[in-house]
């Protein structure tokens, strides 16, 4: 398993790299940003670094 980028949604660097290869851009980053904007993010609780 690769380095986790999003602890709320369990995405890794490898997930994002594969997403870019498949779509030409990261749709995962777009989803993370939309979820965060909608208030569906618990980074402070889920991320060991508190971000």
Amino acid 28: pLDDT: 93
Which tens digit of pLDDT belongs to each residue from 1-51?
A: 689 888 888 899 999 999 999 999 999 989 988 988 998 888 777 777 765
pLDDT of residue 50: 64
Helix (H, G, I), strand (E, B) or coil at 44: helix
Whole-Å CA distances, 47 to 5, 12, 24, 41: 9, 13, 28, 10
What pLDDT score does 12 carry?
94
Q: Rounded CA gap, 28 and 50, in Å?
A: 21
The pLDDT of residue 15 is 95
**Could you please report the per-residue DSSP string of 7-38?**
TTTTEEHHHHHHHHHHHSS-HHHHHHHHHHHT
Q: State pTM to two decimals.
A: 0.72
- How far is it, in rounded angstroms, from Cα 47 to Cα 25? 25
């Amino acid at each position: 398993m690769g380095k986790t980028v999003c602890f709320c949604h369990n995405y890794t660097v490898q997930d994002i790299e594969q997403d870019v290869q498949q779509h030409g851009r990261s749709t995962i980053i777009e989803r993370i940003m939309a979820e965060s904007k909608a208030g569906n993010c618990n980074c402070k609780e889920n991320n060991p670094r508190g971000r």
